[in-house]
Amino acid sequence: MEFNLKFNLATLEIGPWISTFLFGIVTSQAYSYYNHCFHQDKWHFKLMVVIIWLCELAHTCSTAAGFFTFSIVHFNDPAKIFAKSPVGYVIAIFMSAVVASIVQVYFGLQVLRITRKPYVAYICWFLSLLRFMGSVGMTVVLATKNLA
């Protein structure tokens, strides 16, 4: 099978576009939250919204930076493209893990509040921890190992 650089870069370009679009939706939701629902919530919930928004900002920027590395810095040089994962993509994976873990822990709290069954929340939190550890492991591997 022949390596098609244009096709592979085209598929990698879709990610940052979708990520940027979705970040716009997250920004709109955060803006709406701080304009309408902000006042009655507890401080830790307000902090969670800010942390998620900042992590999503870092995720969007790092995804774009990773694609820039592929498409501009190492353009038309497949050996360098696959030698090491771009730092932007490594950061994006970690930021995705942080956001997912925060949201899943909050989901576990909501499940606990609604069902009053702590074992269901414990299962949610345990699975969230496993996912976070797996993502951190993947981040370390991608940051330290060559892909080729």
pLDDT digits (tens, 9 = 90+) for 76-124: 776 776 677 888 888 999 999 999 999 999 999 999 999 988 999 999 9
Tokens representing 118 are 């702590």
pLDDT tens-digit readout, 15-64: 888 989 999 999 999 999 888 877 788 888 889 999 999 999 999 999 98
Cα-to-chain-centroid distance, residue 27: 15
Can you give the residue range of the structural domain that contains 59?
5-144
How many other C-beta atoms are found inside a 10 Å radius of the C-beta of residue 70? 21
Query: How many domains are there within the chain?
Result: 1
Say yes or no to pLDDT of 148 above 70.
no
